[in-house]
Structure 1
Amino acid sequence: MKLPLIDLSVFLLYMLAIIIFGASFYFKKRSANDFITGGGRLPSWAIGMSIFATFVSSISFLALPGNAYLSNWNGFVFSLSIPLAAILAVRFFVPLYRGIKSASAYYFLETRFGSWARIYASICYLLTQLARMGAIMYLLALPMNALFGWSIPMIIIVTGISVLVYAILGGFEAVIWTDAIQGIILITGALACVVIILFSMPEGPAQVFTIAASDQKFSLGSFGLSLSEATFWVILIYGLFINLQNFGVDQNYVQRYLSAKTEKEAVKSTLLGSLLYVPVSLLFFFIGTALYAYYQARPGLLPEDLASIENADKIFPYFIVNGLPVGMTGLLIASIFAAGMSTISTSVNSSATIILTDHFKKYIHPGLSEKGEMRVLVLASLAMGLLSILVALAFNGVTSALDAWWALSAIFSGGILGLFLLGYIGKNIRRKYAAIGVVLGVLVIGWMSLSPVIFEEGATFRSSFHANLTIVFGTAVIFLVGFLCSAFANKIRSAV
């Protein structure tokens, strides 16, 4: 399928403009602190938009409408957990990180459990970011390849290098401001899409609600208590743990806490970015439901091969190309790339920060000069960006890149959240019991993530729990083992 010249021009002009705009921050006077936090002088609304843009990756942009098209709004329950997690974040996590005066999210773990905890958490974070960036670039390339015939490796390489240019040249300020612009474009494009779908219905906008309601497309899922299905409660608990992880131990968010002028501004930006995602994710689910009604009311417009489960993520891009006015298609394709680019640029910058603060300055060159810090940040950004491109290329041909990403992220990140909660909530926790808790927790996470892949259904050692509970159980094991063992040891010690 060939993209009209006007749409291709809109898309290419957007890509060029965002790269030039981000790179323009290179000409400002910069220090390592500027590269990491923007000098702590960024406005709260821009930081909030950046937090929002980080939430919405290209996976969300494509997967949420596809999910709603095929089933219902069960996935929206994840968004309902965000307000509670955000309240906990601004009450506890924002003051914590602004108080310890460290650019690293994992310095806190070192103060509680020693150097091993910081090394473990930071390495897990870097591995998670590589898998995340690779998965996003690859999943972004799939629908573009299917719709336009663009080469998957070409899309991955062009996207990766484009982000690297402005992320390296512009530093954290470029990340924040480009994220803010991309977030606005993303919302504008989605709203325009909803309006066009509603007024393209043969019997008017109300027909969308009539068709969707009759087929139970607005359902939030079962309210049963099963732990093997994606019930309302399973998704809600999963969402709460994932979002506590985001706000509590994700370097992407911690840098944003530190980039605000004051703690009050940091709180405002956190609430803006997180709470904005709730209605916008609702918008994406509604797009999927509206597309279902649209193609039900206009049978024959959607090719049969796109209606299958494995092609659900391509339905929204198909409508963008075939159902939107000329010019609008280019804007929406730009929105999809905006969602991916904002997430990748954030990961590149935060990963470089961790390499500098948690590894290079601590173990390789403690007395590094300001110029040396900048050199390390640039080289680390370049290395992580290029490695993520290689990871994305390695995903090419994998049966399910999304499943692979979920499994890897659960293994790497679940242990960090459990350790953080143990250090934050627990008192007098002994380091060795925290380490034992992490080992046991990671084993549980590994079993729940990998056993369904290794063993056949019904096998003795195969986990029967829903995959979304992996981080919940792993975190609980780490916390309970570390807490209970330390409490028992302290009690014995005081009794002697």
Structure 2
Amino acid sequence: MNNLRILDLLIIGLYLVAMIGVGVYFSRKNRNPEQYSSASGQIPGWAIGLSIYATFLSSNTFLGVPGKAFGTNWNALVFSISMPLAAWVAARYFVPFYRATGEISAYTHLEKRFGSWARTYAVVCFLLTQLARIGSIFFGIALTLQALTGFSMEMIMLITGISIIIYTVLGGIEAVIWTEVVQGIIKTAGALLILYLVVSNLPGGLAKVVAIGQHDHKFSLGGFAPDFTQSTFWVVLLYGFFINLNNFGVDQNYVQRYHTATSAQQAAKSIWLCVQVYLPASLLFFVIGSALYAYYQVHPELIEAVKLKVAAERLPLSASAAQLAQAAAQLQPADYGDKVMPHFIVTKVPPGFVGLLVSAILSAAMSTISSGMNASATVFVADIYQRYMKPDLDGRQMMRVLHLGTVVVGLLGMGTGIAMIGVKSVLDVWWELSGIFAAGMLGLFLLAVVSRQTRNHEALAATMIGVLVILWMTFSPNLPASLAMLRNPLHKSMIIVVGTLTIFLLGLLFTRLRRQRRARAVAPLSTELKSA
């Protein structure tokens, strides 16, 4: 434990024990599946809103956003700007719909509309999305704690993963929500502390941050030209709207929380509270990234250690010192942005405060991972185990399967995080994977809710074509130069936009064509009847 002092270790240990204690406390209430998965609908709207906020404010935000702002600019902030419109759609249409159905799973309705294939497809997309999310968060937290402890990233993921599994399995959704309320406060306080420490150690303070940021164009939101091949303002805005609509409207993590509210009105209010808190918090993390950039511009000698560490991770152990120095010199800020905050915490944060910041980073990871584990276990039981394996589960059997599902998802998430070791930007990886998996799910769900006339075969045909489009957009950039004309020309963030619209619009088109054919077939018969 070469970088953590006794005081820091005590603070981190107390935090982990407290979180497990919350799980033990709420375990006394979890006597039935309804309490475990929906808290029997007794959670106040403000607590749900803060828990959703904490889920959004994962370690991908805590570490990835400052890293992104350090390495590039504020283009990713446009993702947050898109949230209010997606929240309005979800609060206006999706929340009343889910509360009216009474189904704990967001995907049961798809089977009623289109058949079992639609439900199964959405569940698979959701579970893959959760593995990508949980894995990227495990990776993000291990990235930081490795610099602080000297432990391997694999060992860190294992230790933190076991702690999260214990309190999630014991406490159920109620423990998840109330710990997320606390974790949301801890994360925000931790972010404010980091910003204060960076600015207070920077000659010139915030004015220097602004001056350097303006000089190096660090505050740009992206180009405003209608170019969808680059990460422009419009590309991120569209991506953000569709992802946030998927989060608020389709993702089981959020839908499950709507059922824990005392009423539909409280559930809708929770969405708006999340938006109101997340928007300024998101801006705060971009300011931190710009402040770190300014700090290391003023102290360029300090960034060399970061660059050497990144270069060493990418080169074989047999690389010489000259090769290491050459590789480090070629690195750009975007290559090591995610490493900067951990380095600052290790080298510049005083004892005691390090423990608080590590606890904040842990809370950022634990809140999102625990909610993803609980939601994934609920979906597994409701949409897979009961649907295809054993529909007549009693309460005790269902609780056992829920617990087992939670453990399995946690372990698979850890494995996904280990597989991500070595990626350049955790935020980029998460955005790309979530866009791929969420596109088909969101398009199919919109078709089910909006078009009451669309039938099973029309939805299936639209989904199959949409999946082919998503696969082409995802993998065609890897085609050889001889097939360059077949490559996807759009930015990868457009995958969810194009994939969703393909399924939705094709479903509407096939429905209209069927109705037109039916109308033409009926027209001659009507004429004959009238003449008779």
Smaller-chain TM-score bracket = over 0.9
TM-score, normalised via structure 2 length: 0.89
**In 2, distance between residues paired with 1:136 and 1:325?**
26
Q: Does 1:372 align with 2:401?
A: no
Q: Does 1:281 align with 2:282?
A: yes
Structure 1, 195-204 or 402-411: larger mean CA deviation = 402-411
Q: Does 1:195 align with 2:196?
A: yes
Summarize deviations over 1:43-93 as a string: whole Å, max 9, x none.
212111110111122111111101111221111011000011111111111
Shift of 1:456: 5.1
Structure 1, 196-205 or 56-65: larger mean CA deviation = 196-205
- Look up the equivalent residue of 1:489 and give its one-letter code: R
Summarize deviations over 1:93-152 as a string: whole Å, max 9, x none.
110100101001011212221222111111221222123212321232123324542111
Q: Does 1:390 align with 2:415?
A: yes
- Look up the equivalent residue of 1:354 and give its one-letter code: V
State the match for 1:112 in structure 2.
Answer: 113
Say whether the 8 Å CA contact 1:82–1:275 is kept in structure 2. Answer: no
State the match for 1:91 in structure 2.
Answer: 92
Structure 1 regions of 5+ residues with no counterpart? none
Q: Does 1:351 align with 2:376?
A: yes
Say whether the 8 Å CA contact 2:7–2:355 is kept in structure 1. Answer: yes
Residues 421 and 334 of structure 1: is their aligned pair in 2 closer, same or farther, counting only changes over 3 Å? same
- Look up the equivalent residue of 2:399 and give its one-letter code: M
Residues 402 and 194 of structure 1: is their aligned pair in 2 closer, same or farther, counting only changes over 3 Å? closer
Shift of 1:321: 2.0
Aligned residue runs from structure 1 range 154-169, under 5 A: 154-169=155-170
Shift of 1:457: 9.9
Residues 450 and 346 of structure 1: is their aligned pair in 2 closer, same or farther, counting only changes over 3 Å? same
**In 2, distance between residues paired with 1:79 and 1:417?**
19
Shift of 1:470: 0.4
Equivalent position SS for 1:368: coil
Residues 493 and 346 of structure 1: is their aligned pair in 2 closer, same or farther, counting only changes over 3 Å? same
State the match for 2:459 in structure 1.
Answer: 434
- Which of these residues, 507, 511, 516, is aligned with residue 491 of structure 1? 516
Aligned residue runs from structure 1 range 88-487, under 5 A: 88-303=89-304, 305-306=306-307, 308-396=333-421, 405-455=430-480, 459-487=484-512
Say whether the 8 Å CA contact 1:182–1:342 is kept in structure 2. Answer: yes
Say whether the 8 Å CA contact 1:451–1:463 is kept in structure 2. Answer: yes
- Look up the equivalent residue of 1:391 and give its one-letter code: T
Shift of 1:403: 5.7
Structure 1, 436-445 or 120-129: larger mean CA deviation = 120-129
Q: What percent of counterpart residues are identical?
A: 47
Residues 456 and 105 of structure 1: is their aligned pair in 2 closer, same or farther, counting only changes over 3 Å? farther
Say whether the 8 Å CA contact 1:455–1:462 is kept in structure 2. Answer: no
Say whether the 8 Å CA contact 1:411–1:442 is kept in structure 2. Answer: no
**In 2, distance between residues paired with 1:194 and 1:351?**
35
Say whether the 8 Å CA contact 2:30–2:36 is kept in structure 1. Answer: no
Say whether the 8 Å CA contact 1:163–1:344 is kept in structure 2. Answer: yes
- Look up the equivalent residue of 2:374 and give its one-letter code: N
**In 1, distance between residues paired with 2:422 and 2:337?**
18
Residues 312 and 398 of structure 1: is their aligned pair in 2 closer, same or farther, counting only changes over 3 Å? closer
**In 2, distance between residues paired with 1:178 and 1:463?**
43
**In 2, distance between residues paired with 1:46 and 1:159?**
25
Summarize deviations over 1:129-182 as a string: whole Å, max 9, x none.
123212321232123324542111111111111110000000001110111111
**In 1, distance between residues paired with 2:349 and 2:181?**
25
Summarize deviations over 1:411-459 as a string: whole Å, max 9, x none.
3221010001111122311211111111111111111112224445982
Equivalent position SS for 1:238: helix
Structure 1, 233-242 or 386-395: larger mean CA deviation = 386-395
Equivalent position SS for 2:76: helix
Equivalent position SS for 1:303: helix
Equivalent position SS for 1:74: coil
- Look up the equivalent residue of 1:34 and give its one-letter code: Q
Residues 458 and 315 of structure 1: is their aligned pair in 2 closer, same or farther, counting only changes over 3 Å? farther
Larger-Rg structure = 2
- Look up the equivalent residue of 2:266 and give its one-letter code: E
Equivalent position SS for 1:150: coil
TM-score, normalised via structure 1 length: 0.95
**In 2, distance between residues paired with 1:441 and 1:433?**
12
Say whether the 8 Å CA contact 1:407–1:450 is kept in structure 2. Answer: no
Summarize deviations over 1:451-493 as a string: whole Å, max 9, x none.
2244459822221210000000011110111110111111111
Say whether the 8 Å CA contact 2:135–2:413 is kept in structure 1. Answer: yes
Structure 1, 13-22 or 198-207: larger mean CA deviation = 198-207
- Look up the equivalent residue of 2:373 and give its one-letter code: V
**In 2, distance between residues paired with 1:194 and 1:200?**
10
- Look up the equivalent residue of 1:208 and give its one-letter code: V
**In 1, distance between residues paired with 2:480 and 2:416?**
26
Say whether the 8 Å CA contact 1:410–1:445 is kept in structure 2. Answer: no
Say whether the 8 Å CA contact 1:410–1:449 is kept in structure 2. Answer: no
Summarize deviations over 1:176-206 as a string: whole Å, max 9, x none.
0111111110000111222222232223432
Structure 1, 122-131 or 476-485: larger mean CA deviation = 122-131
Residues 3 and 93 of structure 1: is their aligned pair in 2 closer, same or farther, counting only changes over 3 Å? same
Residues 296 and 458 of structure 1: is their aligned pair in 2 closer, same or farther, counting only changes over 3 Å? farther
Residues 236 and 405 of structure 1: is their aligned pair in 2 closer, same or farther, counting only changes over 3 Å? closer
Say whether the 8 Å CA contact 1:444–1:474 is kept in structure 2. Answer: yes
Structure 1, 422-431 or 349-358: larger mean CA deviation = 422-431
**In 2, distance between residues paired with 1:204 and 1:341?**
33
**In 2, distance between residues paired with 1:166 and 1:220?**
40
- Look up the equivalent residue of 1:390 and give its one-letter code: G
**In 2, distance between residues paired with 1:491 and 1:6?**
74
Summarize deviations over 1:276-314 as a string: whole Å, max 9, x none.
211111000000111112222334233354474322101
- Look up the equivalent residue of 2:14 and give its one-letter code: L
Residues 236 and 345 of structure 1: is their aligned pair in 2 closer, same or farther, counting only changes over 3 Å? same
Equivalent position SS for 1:374: helix
Structure 2 regions of 5+ residues with no counterpart? 308-331, 522-532
Residues 422 and 19 of structure 1: is their aligned pair in 2 closer, same or farther, counting only changes over 3 Å? same
Residues 356 and 371 of structure 1: is their aligned pair in 2 closer, same or farther, counting only changes over 3 Å? same
